Structure 1
C-alpha cells in the first residue's frame, strides 16, 4: 500500500495511519486487524459479518458471507445487507483518503437490484488519483465512488453508485 505523505496543511488521518500499520503485516493479519476495527466502529457491519479482504489505499475489497443473520426470506444475502456492503466498502475508501480534520458523510445511495444473488457477496470500491487529490485539497465537497458488487457465481446482481460528501469536523 502506498502511504500518504501528508503535508502540514493535511492533518494525519488516524484511520489511514492504522491501515498503513496493518498493511505492513502479513495479508491475513492485515485483513483481520482492519476488519476488527471496522466492525467495532460500524456496529451493523459487525452484526452482518462484513469482512475487509484487501486494500492498497486506492481500492478496497469487502465480503459479506451469506450468513443467516444477513439473509432474506429466500436464503440469499438480504438487499439491506447488500446495500450495507456497498456503503461500507465505499465509505472505507473515502474515509482513509480524507485528511484527519474531515468527516465523510454518505449523501446518496443508488442501488438497482437486477438479478437474484447466489452465495457470498463481494464489493470492490476504488478512487482515482484525481478524486483523492480533490478530497485532500478541499474543505468540503463530494465524490461519486465506483463500486462493483458480485455474488459467488461472479454475476453483478446489483448496480451501485454511492455519492459521498465530506465536511470539516467540528471541534
Structure 2
C-alpha cells in the first residue's frame, strides 16, 4: 500500500531498516520533529499505520514527588502514541489536532511506563477519506509490573489545512 502522507513515507523507510536500528531511528526522528518528546526521554519501540508502542524509563527527570512517572509524563506518552498514529494516517491536506483527553488514575504506577495505541482498519479509512471528523484512539498504559494504572481516552480530530 502506498504511503498515506509524507510522514508515513518517512516512517516506512525507517521501518525498512534492520530491526535493531528501527526504534532508535524512530526515536531520533520524532525527537527532532517534536522536540519535547526527546526532552522527556521517550523511546518509540514500534510504529506503523495500525499500532504505536512508546516507553519511558522511570528516571529522575520524569518523576513525581513519590518516585513514580509523573502524571503529565504518562499523558505525554498517550498523546504522542495516539498522535503519531493519527499523523501517519491523515492525508497531507489535513491537520490532526487533539480534541479531548480524559484520564482516570486508578492505582499507583510502579517502574517504567509503556503505552500502546491502535487504530482499526475502519478508523484508518475514516481518517483517510472523510473531509473532517474525529476518532477515539484506543490506548493502554502499562507500568513496570504490567498493570494498567490509568484508564485513558484520547479523541483526535482532523480538519482541512488552512491555505
For residue 43 of structure 1, report the CA deviation from its aligned partner.
Answer: 2.2
CA RMSD in angstroms comes to: 1.2
Q: Within 2, Cα distance between the matches of 1:70 and 1:53?
A: 18
Structure 2 unaligned residues grouped into runs of 5+: none
Q: Which moved more, 1:81-90 or 1:35-44?
A: 35-44
Q: Is the 8 A contact 1:49 1:64 kept in 2?
A: yes
Structure 1 unaligned residues grouped into runs of 5+: 7-11
The alignment status of 1:63 with 2:63, answered yes or no, reads no
For residue 5 of structure 1, report the CA deviation from its aligned partner.
Answer: 2.5
Alignment of 1:47-62 (within 5 A): 47-62=39-54
Aligned residue-pair number? 163
The residue that corresponds to 1:86 in the other structure is 78
1:20-66 Cα shifts (integer Å, max 9, x gaps)? 00011112211111111111222221111111101232011000111
- TM-score when normalising by structure 1: 0.91
Q: Within 2, Cα distance between the matches of 1:88 and 1:36?
A: 14
- TM-score when normalising by structure 2: 0.96
Q: Within 2, Cα distance between the matches of 1:112 and 1:138?
A: 30
The alignment status of 1:95 with 2:63, answered yes or no, reads no
Q: Select which of 138, 149, 159 maps to 1:157.
A: 149
The residue that corresponds to 1:73 in the other structure is 65
Q: Select which of 12, 28, 34 maps to 2:26.
A: 34
Alignment of 1:87-166 (within 5 A): 87-166=79-158
Moved over 3 A (4+): none
Q: Is the 8 A contact 1:47 1:69 kept in 2?
A: no
The residue that corresponds to 2:2 in the other structure is 5
